[in-house]
Structure 1
Amino acid sequence: MVIPTESALAQGKRGGERGHFPSGRASTMHVRGPQYGTIRNRVPTGAKQMNFRGETFHWHNGVYYHPNGKRFVVVRPPIGLRIGVLPIDCFMLTIGAIPYYYYYGTFYTTVNNEYEVVDPPVGALVEELPSDCEEVTIDDKVYYKVDDTYYRAVVDKRNKIMFEVVGKSVK
């Protein structure tokens, strides 16, 4: 079950100050990373290793890798994981009065001078969804589910299809 919530008033900026985007819009004009679930023989050179709640992750240019035997799988980072530096081409969104940062399907906010992975904020707009999203119909309306977050397709002021965060699964 999804809990749709009214959109929040939002403003977006790319890379902090380099460009402005309409209300809550996060662009995906950055270089795309590997598809979620992709298995790699090794992590990219320069990847930073971190531990979070007893698990090891490797981070490189906004993409997260998790060990899988002797290989590594591309994953979405867990909520609560923190990094010290954002990817260069991240996008800033302000939802209400809270600044968020978006890159490669992951939303962050600042906590104690670090960037913490957070749930997608209701009202945020993104141009694309990960390829592993699932189309679901609830009360005759089509939603797109990524993990436990639901998005709906909307048309922005430029007549472009965007995906708006509308709620989360109730467990």
Structure 2
Amino acid sequence: MKIIVFATLLISLLTSVESDLLAQRHAHRRVERVRVVRARPVRRYPRAKVVVVRPRRVRTVTVLPAGHVTVVSRGRNYYYYNGFYHTQVNNVYTVIAPPRGVRIRVLPVGYTNIVIGGTPHYYYQGAYYKQVGNEYETVEPVVGTVVPNLPEENVDEVTIDGENYYEFDDLLYKPVVTASGTQYEVVGNLDD
């Protein structure tokens, strides 16, 4: 009798844990569909006109997290872990925007589905991914793409000709109010 009760409790406990794990796995995926009606021409803003209102906060570490992956792009090493890319300068690793064309096998937990020009893309912390075969490649978004948030690091609040923007990885974003609250629209690029 004790064995049957124990077995029943064990099965119900395992079923409960499995259900919680599955629910947790799916809870990290936010699905927001954004449609870019049509790609607009890229508007270029001269860097010489940029006035930094609030400088970026940069995150650095001296030791990379266990399990990071080294990704080589254009002869340079980048270190990827959990959706974040690092580069090494001296003995310090700095969180940066990913270079375009880098591929990963698994999307980071918490990514957002977006649709750019009718094609599914995925967004996470300033990085845009498009599926290529069994991998996900970093790509540049088109002007008009709207995302739910911006990264916590490496974002400057700037003004250009009296207009306020957020700059991340040479992309300029403007806050827009949507049915989901304040989101951020790609409005152009900075020129050197």
Which residues in structure 2 correspond to 1:119-158 (within 5 Å)? 119-130=140-151, 131=153, 132-138=155-161, 140-158=162-180
What is residue 21 of structure 1 aligned with on the other side? 32
Q: Cα offset for 1:100?
A: 0.9
Q: Distance between the aligned counterparts of 1:19 and 1:161, measured in 2? A: 16
Give the conservation status (yes or no) of the 8 Å contact 2:35–2:118. Answer: no
How far the C-alpha of 1:19 sits from its partner, in A, is 5.2
Which SS does the other structure have where 1:169 is aligned?
Answer: strand
Q: Percent identity?
A: 34
Task: Give unpaired runs (5+ residues) of structure 2.
Answer: 1-25, 37-55
Q: How many residue pairs get matched?
A: 145
> What do the CA deviations read for 1:34-76 (whole angstroms, capped 9, x no partner)?
x963221111111111211111111111011112222311111
Secondary structure of the residue aligned to 2:142 is: coil
Deviating runs (4+, > 4 A) in structure 1?
Answer: none
> For the residues of structure 1 that align with 2:66 and 2:60, how far apart are their CA atoms?
16
1:111-151, Cα deviation, whole Å (9 max, x unpaired): 2432111113322222333342232234x533322232111
Aligned with 2:89 (options 51, 65, 68): 68
Query: Is contact 2:32-2:112 (8 Å) kept?
Result: no
User: Whose Rg is larger?
Assistant: 2
2:81 and 2:31 map into 1 onto residues whose CA distance is 26
| Structure 1, 100-109 or 144-153: larger mean CA deviation | 144-153
Matches of 1:36 and 1:60 in 2, distance apart? 19
Counterpart residue type for residue 21 of structure 1? E
Q: For 1:49, what is the secondary structure of its paired residue?
A: strand
In 2, distance between residues paired with 1:22 and 1:53?
Answer: 33
Distance 1:54 1:73 in 2: 18
| CA shift in 2, pair 1:155/1:116, >3 Å | same
Assess if the C-alpha contact under 8 Å between 2:33 and 2:115 holds in 1.
no
* Aligned mates of 2:103, 2:168 — CA distance in 1: 21
The whole-number CA distance in structure 2 between the counterparts of 1:133 and 1:167 is 15
Q: Is residue 2:125 matched to residue 1:104? A: yes
The normalised TM-score by structure 2 is 0.65
| Cα deviations by residue, 1:68-121 (Å, 9 ceiling, x for unpaired) | 222311111111111121112211111221111111111111224321111133
